[in-house]
Amino acid sequence: MKKLDIITLYKNSKALLEGHFLLSSGRHSAYYLQSAKVLESPQTASLLAEALAKHIKEHNICYIDAICAPALGGIIAGYELAKAMGVRFIFTERVQGKMQLRRGFEVSSGEHFLICEDIITTGGSALESAEVITYLGGKVLGFAALANRGICKCINSETHSKPEAKLPTHLPLFALENFSFDTYIPEECPLCKQGTQAIKPGSRGN
């Protein structure tokens, strides 16, 4: 099978926008990632999940029994990955700020889990999901995501984790693509210097 061009898939799905953006941090960037958009097409979601499953299999970490995702962001990606790997799928959700396993989902003692997200930024929610699974007797063998923001270190990446990364470094992170973009304070933004105006993503119905 031809290697998937993840960047093009994200662009075609309008999940990766190019332009001049004002981010919620107040910084400017030439790119904006709307990661949920890439999963709008179930066919694309399957393609991505199958590629991710293949990537995980190649590293042969261990037998996986189940996938767990933190709601809401990880649910579609996690479900599709579970389908591609032929294992069961559960999700954790936050109740009054605390990550929990609800809805009758159970974890067997020693059951092997991967925690899946659509995109890993600091990995905070994924880590909380992993802590819930571990507390309930499961064994978390690693983390998976369709995309990584370049803060946490992927298994096949040369770069180190950034200080704000929350995922444990002794467990692998599998991701299909790294999306780490330069961001600028407005005074130093090269796009502002070219005379264009930064727009807030979403303000034009994006």
Does 136 sit near Zn ion (CB under 5 A)? no
What phi and psi values does residue 131 have, to the nearest 5 degrees? -65, -35
Q: CA-to-CA distance for 168 and 65, rounded, in angstroms?
A: 21
Stretch that binds Zn ion, among 27-35, 98-106, 118-126, 141-149 (CB under 5 A): 27-35
Q: Which of 201, 174, 175 is nearest to 14 (CA)?
A: 201
CB 179 within 8 A of CB 147: yes
In the complex with Zn ion, which residue's Cβ is closer, 34 or 183?
Answer: 183
Does 75 sit near Zn ion (CB under 5 A)? no
Give min distance, CB of 20 to Zn ion, in A.
6
Q: Which residues, including other chains, have CB under 8 Å from residue 179's CB and lie 6 or more apart?
A: 10, 16, 31, 33, 119, 147, 148, 149, 150
In the complex with Zn ion, which residue's Cβ is closer, 58 or 188?
Answer: 188
Does 198 sit near Zn ion (CB under 5 A)? yes
In the complex with Zn ion, which residue's Cβ is closer, 28 or 149?
Answer: 28
CB 138 within 8 A of CB 130: no
Q: Which of 53, 48, 42, 62 is nearest to 8 (CA)?
A: 48
Please give the size of the binding site for Zn ion, defined by CB under 5 A.
5
In the complex with Zn ion, which residue's Cβ is closer, 110 or 195?
Answer: 195
Q: Where are the alpha helices (DSSP H) in 29-137?
A: 42-59, 75-85, 124-135
* Binds Zn ion by CB under 5 A, chosen from 71, 136, 155, 192: 192
Does 115 sit near Zn ion (CB under 5 A)? no
* Binds Zn ion by CB under 5 A, chosen from 61, 171, 191, 199: 191
Does 189 sit near Zn ion (CB under 5 A)? yes
Does 28 sit near Zn ion (CB under 5 A)? yes
Q: For binding to Zn ion (CB under 5 A), which residues are involved?
A: 28, 189, 191-192, 198
